[in-house]
Amino acid sequence: MTRLVDALSLEEQLDLVARLTSPARLAQTFAAFVGQFYDRPAFDAFARQVSDCYDPERARAFRTQLDRRLADRYHEPVVWELAETVERDAA
């Protein structure tokens, strides 16, 4: 039997998760799985994509919580703005 989630696109799935999950809880989940991403830029892109599903206030809470939880796990914060990547690489 087909599950409803299988009928949804990735964007629709992320939107649904953002509606049903608090920013703090989702940040905790993301931080728990950061070590399983071999490609850190892909992790950051996925975090940005999820952040975009929230309204501005909840997106800010998600970003703040995720960066704090990553720091607790000795990981760099997420590159939220792609321009930051260019600036860091130039330095």
Q: What is the DSSP letter of 76?
A: P
pLDDT at 91 over 70: no
pLDDT at position 90? 54
- Residues 29-52 have a mean pLDDT of 91
pLDDT band of 82, cuts 50, 70, 90: confident
- Domain span at residue 65? 4-90
82 CB-side CA count, 13 A:
6
Averaged pLDDT for residues 80-88: 67
Amino acid at 91: A
In the chain, the number of structural domains is 1
Predicted local confidence at residue 36, as pLDDT: 86
Amino acid at 5: V
Residue 87 has pLDDT above 60, yes or no: no
